[in-house]
Amino acid sequence: MPVIMNGGTYYRTNEVYHMIGISRTTLYRWLKQGILNEAKYRDRRGWRLFTEEEIAEMKAEANRDRKSDQCLTSKRLS
């Protein structure tokens, strides 16, 4: 369930990786490696909160990653 705070809508980590279609491990790895920017917001427990704009950037990264995987698979099959 999204969090409404200061007029904005924020999503927790578990919602985000489901929305993007990646695993939790992949999301945390991308954050740790700096592929994705760290969440700007956290809730009172310290859990990451992501905006819709941040989620759109993550989806773009996931699509780039999938296209890269497809290219590698195609080259191996050739």
Q: pLDDT digits over 15-32, tens only?
A: 999 999 999 999 999 999
Q: Distances from the Cα of 32 to the Cαs of 3, 66, 70, 73, in angstroms? A: 24, 19, 24, 26
Which residues form the domain of 9? 3-77
Confidence (pTM)? 0.76
- Alpha-carbon distance of 1 to 4, in angstroms, equals 10
- Alpha-carbon distance of 76 to 78, in angstroms, equals 6
| Structural domains of the chain, count | 1
What does the pLDDT read at residue 72? Answer: 46
Domain of 40, CATH number, reads: 1.10.1660.10
| pLDDT at residue 77 is higher than 70 | no
Contact (Cβ atoms closer than 8 angstroms) between residue 7 and residue 17: no
